[in-house]
A and B are shown apart, each in its own frame.
Chain A
Amino acid sequence: MRLILEKRSEHSEFMTLMSPLLAIFLTVVTGAIIFALQGLNPLEALYVYFIEPVTSMWSIEEVLVKAAPLILIGAGLSICYMANVWNIGAEGQLTMGAAFGSIVPIFFTSWQSPLTLVAMLVCGAIGGAAFAAIPAFLKNRFNANEILTSLMLVYIAQLILDWLVRGPWRDPKGYNFPQSIPFEGWQLLPTLGDGRVHIGIILAIVAVIILSILMSRTLKGFEIMVIGNSPRAGRFSGFSRKKTVWFCLLLSGGLAGLAGIGEVAGPSGQLQPSISPGYGFTAIIVAFLGRLNPIGVFFAGIMLAITYIGGEGAQVVLGVSDKTAQVFQGILLFFILACDTLILYRIKLLGPVTPQQAAAE
């Protein structure tokens, strides 16, 4: 017996819809087995993971808070990857965006105006884009691989931030602990309602809409698609690979930077050494789960946020460790990726290969 894939002549519409459902079904079954093995009630465990996060207003809000940076970064990365530009350093761009954006509240403490926040967001985006410009420049000028340079720059960005908050930007009233001054009300992102949901999620939705229009309706989107699919074809059409590299890195860096300042001016409220639980890396998964489509990224971001929130709830309600949540998440991703195959391919099981067949191949 062996598994054979047969390319479908076109995307299967049916499977496009079915694949995520099938993946979730498989995960639920596997998850139930894992939980049962750990001596837990599988139904309760699954409820905590998938249903509970969307049952109360509070946890729905928390899902949105968690999803906002993932979507913002993931949307930018999806464009990047579409163009075959491999920015995997979004975490660093996020960090620098957070640092740049914080210049406004740290150095212009008393500037109180509706523009303060706008300035912070703009600075954040500029910081992220500027940091992403380094791999773009090195790629275009020296042909240095952007996977490597962008990844190395993550470490450097985190060390720069670390140095800033432990040294020059330290809160003078903070007993020398590593943190900046706490931001004031007008320097914080306005919340929607009384909870923690801030306008970051709106920025994310706006980004998703703009980017999906960009990709589907504009020449630039077409250019990115052509260059991504075949650089040669792109060259023949007169599209510049270098310009695309600049465009994609600056765009995704800017969005990551925006997410960074969004976290600092949103949930955190001040600059500190740790500003992101790896959003920049998780967003890579989000980009792929969303099939490199900004709208897909939106749903992927929400879904991943739900499993995070559910996993956290499971620790409290079920007493399972964070590790189980992580394993569960890994398995879910595997199933989703595997089921996506069904969209493009038909799977056939063949019997044992007879020598004649083998010869015919």
Chain B
Amino acid sequence: MDGTQAIILTIITASTPLLLAAIGELVVERSGVLNLGVEGMMVMGAVCGFATAYTTGSPTLGIFAGIMAGIGMAFIFAFMTQTLVSNQVATGLALTLLGLGLSGLIGESFVGLPGVKLVPVSIPLLSDIPFIGRILFGQDILVYASIALVIATTYVLFKTRVGLIIRAVGDNHHSAHSLGYNVIMVRYACILFGGACAGLSGAYLSLAYTPQWIENMTAGRGWIALALVVFATWLPKRLAIGAYLFGTVWIMGLYVQAQGLGIPSQFLSSLPYLVTIIALVIISGNKTLTRVNTPACIGQSFVPDR
């Protein structure tokens, strides 16, 4: 395989789980909710996806199970924060704690077993085109799903009534409520969508990225997804750019190391985070842009007055 092509393929696989989890969280935050439990939902998606695929032999069922696990975790969060109006930051952190523990328990008997790999689709003819063929037409289905999700989310959020409602709820829940929208229900739906995406992202890790189950295998990717949402100033397009930028810097760090230049590996490992901060500073400098897109009600609980 050609070196450059290999690097690009690696960047795509490294970026996809981040993008999948982040796009869900973006919708959640657009509706005015901050769910810091992405890591917990993701790791549950990973273990349930793996366990199901291993038991049934079907990666498709595994993906489905991963999504359902994410939704299940998200439901706990939604019930806590929307129905019982508990604090979102603390609930999200508790969700991560629960997810990491529970996934370990579920996965105890699946450690050390080779998984069922999600086979990349390979579109005939097109995937044989030199260089770009493999990159554009030979990915696994979830890579395409992540791109489709970005496009669909952009469309729904900004071109449809549903999107208008979600943004209205996130920007000012009181006026959305007085306009007759059910703020709580909209947020429930968005939180569950976020859970589904995080679960899918987890399933991607345990089915496609490294087909196996290991405790804590998400290794902090949920947190990076959270950061990317803020970095993207809540715009799906920018989120995709951000995820791929992060993936690129991440992989290039490894690439440069293999060249043996003697740059401290800690410095290269910290580059993706530094770059994210710098990029954020540049974007944030443009004040009108950020202010327009920031959901004003983020993190605030809503209880309808009656």
Known: A6-B306, A331-B98, A337-B80. A345 touches B85 (CB 8 A): yes
User: Is A326 an interface position by the 8 A CB rule?
Assistant: yes
Closest chain A residue, CB of each to CB of B280: A144
Contact: B98 with A151, CB < 8 Å? Answer: no
B305 CB to nearest A CB, Å: 8
User: Is A329 an interface position by the 8 A CB rule?
Assistant: yes
Q: Is the contact region of chain A dominated by helix, strand, or loop, or is it mixed?
A: helix
- Complex: how many Å from CA A320 to CA B251? 39
Cβ contacts B101-126/A at 8 Å (1 or 0 each): 11011001000000000000000000
Closest chain A residue, CB of each to CB of B98: A330
Contact: A148 with B231, CB < 8 Å? Answer: yes
Contact: B270 with A156, CB < 8 Å? Answer: yes
- Complex: how many Å from CA A194 to CA B233? 53
Closest chain A residue, CB of each to CB of B269: A159
Q: Which residues of A contact B270 (CB under 8 A)?
A: 155-156, 159-160
Chain A 124-144 interface residues, beta-carbon cutoff 8 Å to B: 138, 142-144
Q: Which residues of B contact A345 (CB under 8 A)?
A: 85, 303
Q: Which residues of A contact B266 (CB under 8 A)?
A: 159-160, 162-163, 166
Known: A151-B223, A323-B101, A337-B80. A143 touches B290 (CB 8 A): yes
Known: A6-B306, A151-B227, A155-B270. A142 touches B284 (CB 8 A): yes
List the one stretch of A203-211, A215-223, A283-291 in contact with chain B.
Answer: A283-291
List the one stretch of B20-28, B48-56, B87-95, B134-142 in contact with chain A.
Answer: B87-95
User: Is B285 an interface position by the 8 A CB rule?
Assistant: yes
Contact: A326 with B101, CB < 8 Å? Answer: yes
Known: A145-B284, A338-B86. A163 touches B267 (CB 8 A): yes
Contact: A156 with B274, CB < 8 Å? Answer: yes
Q: Which residues of B contact A284 (CB under 8 A)?
A: 89-90, 93
- Complex: how many Å from CA A53 to CA B264? 44
Contact: B276 with A148, CB < 8 Å? Answer: yes
Contact: A327 with B90, CB < 8 Å? Answer: no
- Complex: how many Å from CA A21 to CA B278? 47
- Complex: how many Å from CA A343 to CA B168? 29
Quick one: which of B94, B230, B287, B290 contacts A330, CB cutoff 8 A?
Answer: B94
User: Is B281 an interface position by the 8 A CB rule?
Assistant: yes
- Complex: how many Å from CA A167 to CA B263? 13
Contact: B101 with A341, CB < 8 Å? Answer: no
Central interface residue in B90, B95, B104, B303, by most chain A CB within 10 Å: B90
Quick one: which of A81, A142, A327, A338 contacts B80, CB cutoff 8 A?
Answer: A338
- Complex: how many Å from CA A340 to CA B81? 12
User: Is B273 an interface position by the 8 A CB rule?
Assistant: yes
User: Is A333 an interface position by the 8 A CB rule?
Assistant: yes
Given contacts A321-B104, A326-B97, 10 further A-B contacts (CB under 8 A): A5-B84, A143-B285, A152-B227, A153-B273, A166-B266, A328-B101, A334-B80, A334-B98, A337-B84, A341-B86
The 3 closest A-B pairs by CB, nearest first: A326-B101, A330-B98, A288-B90
